[in-house]
């Protein structure tokens, strides 16, 4: 009996968005719809499974945890990058780690949803009209404003082009960004300090790494205009969260639209939830039916290839080949 577990299916849609019936009758599939909190719960709940399907970075698979999952042979993550998985440890233990494709478009769409909701006070006006009130706020237009894009990769470039369609000027910065790359998207490469000082909206589209952790902090918030906004749909730890809370509480910046946080799920008692100048979403950047259909269909493909003894699909740790854990008898 091959035991498979699908993690973090919060919406209860995993089994309906792909054909899991392709597996043999000797395959047992378990779906967990709740978040596993802490190392001991992860080990306790997942110890029996040979195959784990993980949703993005919701569950941590550190070396310590992987060492205590003796039955694990295949770990599939949605997406082709997962900072919560220790790939070196997985390789040393002979665990195959495979990924899936995905779409960056959904995250750039959400980025603009947050920007528009903030500048036009959409959530507040939505609540007001339901209470019989009418036109309680005065919003801001995007045309003529400056959009500061941190990171001009696949996501950042999409966001930049949409900003230009709104009539915004786009400036950009990241540690390795070249002027040629910036000009390719009609953006102006500036210094980091200049980006924060001149932007009306700063939006983050960087990968989380040792270089980017805490990249946006008190210094950057002090440089920003008091009527400027910060958007983060990338990764929470890129922003110094306590510094952001201070900047919002003390009016250093006008507001923030956040889809990512230091710790997820965000606690209902978190200070950010008490701030009226924030719009908070629960890491929805990749959460679309279209994206999930790709995630789960390719997860099934990855598992099928493994069960058939074929070459792994979308393998994220190729050094593991030749040292895989033996299949159970």
**Nearest-5° angle of CA 68, CA 70, CA 76?**
95
Contact predicate 284/110, CB 8 Å? yes
Six-digit token pair at 161?
A: 């082009």
Q: What CA–CA distance (Å, rounded) separates 116 from 201?
A: 11
| Pairing verdict, β 255-258 and 229-232 | parallel
CA 327 to the chain's CA centroid: 33
Q: What CA–CA distance (Å, rounded) separates 73 from 277?
A: 46
Same fold, 2-102+288-320 and 105-280: yes
283 is catalytic: yes
C-alpha pair distances (Å), 203 with each of 5, 23, 53, 160, 188: 36, 43, 31, 10, 15
- The catalytically annotated residue of 57, 235, 241, 314 is 235
Superfamily of domain 2-102+288-320: NAD(P)-binding Rossmann-like Domain (3.40.50.720)
* Per-residue pLDDT at 102: 86
Q: DSSP label at 70?
A: T
CA nearest 147: which of 167, 121, 176, 126? 167
Backbone angles phi, psi at 180, to 5 degrees: -65, -45
Contact predicate 30/5, CB 8 Å? yes
Backbone angles phi, psi at 130, to 5 degrees: -75, -15
Q: Which fold has domain 105-280?
A: Rossmann fold (3.40.50)
- The catalytically annotated residue of 58, 205, 283, 314 is 283
Tens-level pLDDT at each residue, the chain (329 residues): 999 999 999 999 999 999 999 998 889 999 999 989 899 999 999 999 999 999 988 999 999 999 999 999 999 999 999 999 999 999 999 999 999 998 879 999 999 999 999 999 999 999 999 999 999 999 999 999 999 999 999 999 999 999 999 999 999 999 999 999 999 999 999 999 999 999 999 999 999 999 999 999 999 999 999 999 999 999 999 999 999 999 999 999 999 999 999 999 999 999 999 999 999 999 999 999 999 999 999 999 999 999 999 999 999 999 999 998 864 43
Helix 105-119 × helix 122-130 angle, to 10°: 60
Q: What CA–CA distance (Å, rounded) separates 82 from 55?
A: 9
Please tell me whether the peptide bond between 40 and the residue prior to it is cis, using omega within 30 degrees of 0: no
Domains of the chain by residue range: 2-102+288-320, 105-280
- The catalytically annotated residue of 264, 293, 301, 325 is 264
Does the pTM surpass 0.85? The reply is yes
Residue 101: count of CB within 10 angstroms of its CB: 13
H or E, element range at 298: helix 289-307
Q: DSSP label at 119?
A: H
Residues near 162 by beta carbon (within 8 Å), at least 6 away in sequence: 108, 112
* Per-residue pLDDT at 329: 35
Contact predicate 148/195, CB 8 Å? yes
H or E, element range at 198: helix 192-198
Q: What CA–CA distance (Å, rounded) separates 8 from 287?
A: 12
* Per-residue pLDDT at 328: 41
* Per-residue pLDDT at 117: 98
Helix 154-165 × helix 105-119 angle, to 10°: 40
Q: What CA–CA distance (Å, rounded) separates 6 from 8?
A: 7
* Per-residue pLDDT at 103: 80
235 is catalytic: yes
Contact predicate 29/23, CB 8 Å? yes
């Amino acid at each position: 009996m091959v035991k498979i577990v699908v993690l973090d299916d919060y919406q209860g849609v995993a089994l309906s968005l792909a054909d899991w019936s392709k597996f043999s009758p000797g395959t047992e599939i378990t779906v967990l719809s709740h978040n596993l909190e802490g190392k001991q719960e992860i080990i306790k709940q997942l110890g029996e499974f040979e195959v784990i399907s993980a949703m993005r970075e919701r569950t941590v698979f550190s070396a310590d945890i992987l060492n205590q999952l003796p039955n694990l042979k295949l770990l599939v993550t949605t997406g082709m990058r997962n900072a919560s998985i220790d790939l070196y440890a997985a390789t040393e233990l002979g665990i195959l780690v495979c990924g899936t494709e995905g779409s960056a478009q959904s995250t750039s769409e959400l980025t603009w949803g947050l920007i528009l909701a903030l500048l036009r006070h959409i959530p507040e006006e939505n609540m007001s009209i339901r209470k019989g009130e009418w036109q309680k706020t005065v919003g801001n237009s995007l045309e003529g404003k400056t959009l500061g894009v941190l990171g001009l990769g696949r996501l950042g470039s999409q966001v930049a082009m949409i900003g230009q369609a709104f009539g915004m000027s786009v400036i950009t910065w990241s540690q390795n960004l070249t002027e040629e790359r910036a000009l390719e998207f009609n953006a102006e490469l500036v210094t980091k300090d200049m980006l924060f000082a001149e932007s009306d909206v700063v939006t983050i589209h960087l990968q989380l790494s040792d270089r980017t952790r805490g990249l946006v902090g008190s210094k950057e918030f002090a440089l920003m205009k008091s009527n400027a906004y910060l958007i983060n749909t990338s990764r929470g730890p890129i922003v110094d969260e306590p510094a952001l809370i201070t900047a919002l509480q003390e009016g250093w910046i006008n507001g923030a639209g956040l889809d990512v946080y230091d710790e997820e799920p965000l606690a209902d008692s978190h200070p950010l939830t008490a701030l009226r100048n924030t719009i908070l979403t629960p890491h929805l950047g990749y959460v679309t039916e279209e994206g999930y259909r790709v995630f789960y269909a390719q997860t099934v493909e990855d598992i099928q290839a493994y069960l058939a003894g074929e070459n792994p699909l979308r393998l994220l740790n190729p050094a593991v080949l030749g040292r895989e854990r033996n299949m159970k008898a």
